[in-house]
Amino acid sequence: AQRVTQPEKLLSVFKGAPVELKCNYSYSGSPELFWYVQYSRQRLQLLLRHISRESIKGFTADLNKGETSFHLKKPFAQEEDSAMYYCALTIYNQGGKLIFGQGTELSVKP
């Protein structure tokens, strides 16, 4: 069965420090991977999708099929980055079912 693991429940860094939120997945085929973010009192929103290879709000994520990872990185954290981050996987031919990790709460201290 497909599975997404985010090993850190909470990640606390200081403003200006680099950030790496870890995500590992288990799936033998070619997954579609995403990062979603939920700011306080806001709805879950899409941050990144691996097929786009884009950088949003300074965040990037690279799919490493060898290590089955999709870590989210930002070189310099900002206080406004504090939020809950979810890694998610979908398999296109399985009807758009998103499998989420448990989430990592990022806290950026001033």
Partner 1 sequence: KAGVTQTPRYLIKTRGQQVTLSCSPISGHRSVSWYQQTPGQGLQFLFEYFSETQRNKGNFPGRFSGRQFSNSRSEMNVSTLELGDSALYLCASADRGDYGYTFGSGTRLTVV
Residues near partner 1, by CB under 8 A:
32, 34, 36, 43-46, 49, 51, 86, 90, 92, 94-103
> From CA 70, how far away is CA 86, in angstroms rounded?
11
Single-letter amino acid code for the residue at 95: G
State the minimum distance, in angstroms, from the CB of residue 1 to partner 1. 10
- Which H/E stretch holds residue 43? none
Between 4 and 19, whose beta carbon lies closer to partner 1? 4
State the minimum distance, in angstroms, from the CB of residue 79 to partner 1. 24
Task: Identify the CA nearest to 47 among candidates 96, 86, 7.
Answer: 86
Between 41 and 110, whose beta carbon lies closer to partner 1? 41
State the minimum distance, in angstroms, from the CB of residue 75 to partner 1. 24
- Which H/E stretch holds residue 84? strand 83-90
Rg over alpha carbons for the chain, rounded to the nearest Å, is: 13
Between 9 and 66, whose beta carbon lies closer to partner 1? 9
